[in-house]
Copies of this chain bind each other. A is one copy, B any other.
């Protein structure tokens, strides 16, 4: 079985694993205050052109989303997010587990607009019974989104603008950050995210690391006492240096960008094939997740050899699936998939 179902099918990039092995017998203090974490923090601040940022490392995405959100909100405050946002659908209510409501905004492609955010906040504040409702206080979006789509810089700037106007915080989930950065027409880079967000994170789990997400708070004040929050949420890794070492490997000589670019090259190959073959997609995704809508017989045939993520059944004749590339995808497998797709469609 050749697997395309997700971008976390393998372990870590060999250079990440190698660095873990090299440093294995170093003795370091626990909990992320070692020199590897320190150096990784500096590398990330540099990549973000954000010398005042406060960088923290956590193991996984749900943990990151929940701990960040819970650290920034007052109890009666809630999160504006697209209905398709990961926190609203696929985290088993982790945000609600901390007492906060996710206030879903409609979205066709995984993105929301500055206007939607402004309208939601304005409607709340203008309602005479607003004290009886959860107060919107933070905007959660993903870049790329769960549907592979990307915000443009001007869209993000407009969102920042309504956040400023309404005293809302902006948090960007960058679990697949790398693949967005290296998407063909992307114009949002790490320094843009650092400038426009109050907090965002750079995903390692899906981009070369065994695990790990690097959270970038705009400044120390926003991250105040965040380490208490990490511990309280069970996210304080005893051997914290494992996170530092991995992000060092990813950022000390551009590995993060290099492998993201590689994965995007393969994703684009698939995207172009789908286009050529007139296979429709659920979303027009410019990043490493592609969502073709396949005739059922072709889906069935391909499934004998490949695994995809089932996404939905748009009608009784078709199945929409997710196909992911990653740093670990081989070009050979992509080419085989393309050839098989072409052959099946041609039948």
Contact = CB atoms under 8 A, between A and B. Distances in A.
Interface of A: 1-3, 5-6, 8-12, 14, 17, 20-21, 23-31, 59-64, 66-67, 70-71, 74-76, 78, 89-94, 96-102, 104, 128-129, 131-135, 205-206, 210-211, 225, 227-239, 242, 310, 328
Chain B CB within 10 Å, residue with most, of A6, A20, A101: A101
A234 B67 contact: yes
Contact of A234 (B60, B205, B206): B60
Contacts of A133: 89-90, 92
Contacts of A74: 225
Contacts of A17: 20-21, 24
Nearest to A7: B238
Given A24-B17, A310-B128, A93 B236 contact: no
Contacts of A135: 225, 228
A239 B205 contact: yes
A181 to B, nearest CB: 20
Integer count of this chain's copies in the complex: 4
A30 B102 CA distance: 26
Contact of A238 (B5, B60, B71, B131): B60
Q: Which 3 A-B residue pairings sit nearest by Cβ, starting from the closest? A: A63-B234, A11-B24, A76-B228
A13 to B, nearest CB: 9
Contacts of A30: 6, 8-9
7 contacts: A1-B27, A8-B30, A10-B25, A92-B134, A97-B233, A211-B239, A233-B234
Contacts of A236: 60, 62, 131-132
Given A11-B23, A92-B131, A128-B310, 4 more contacts: A9-B27, A60-B236, A93-B99, A135-B225
A87 to B, nearest CB: 11
A75 B66 contact: no
A93 B11 contact: no
A131 B231 contact: yes
Given A29-B5, A60-B237, A131-B228, A99 B97 contact: yes
Nearest to A67: B234
A6 B238 CA distance: 10
Given A60-B237, A63-B234, A99-B97, A229 B76 contact: yes
A134 B89 CA distance: 8
A11 B63 CA distance: 22
A67 to B, nearest CB: 7
A159 to B, nearest CB: 23
Given A11-B23, A27-B9, A210-B242, A233 B94 contact: yes
Contacts of A328: 25
B238 A132 contact: no
Contacts of A25: 10-11, 328
Nearest to A103: B93
Given A23-B11, A24-B17, A75-B98, A92 B239 contact: no
B14 A24 contact: yes
A231 B75 contact: no
A238 B205 contact: yes
A110 to B, nearest CB: 17
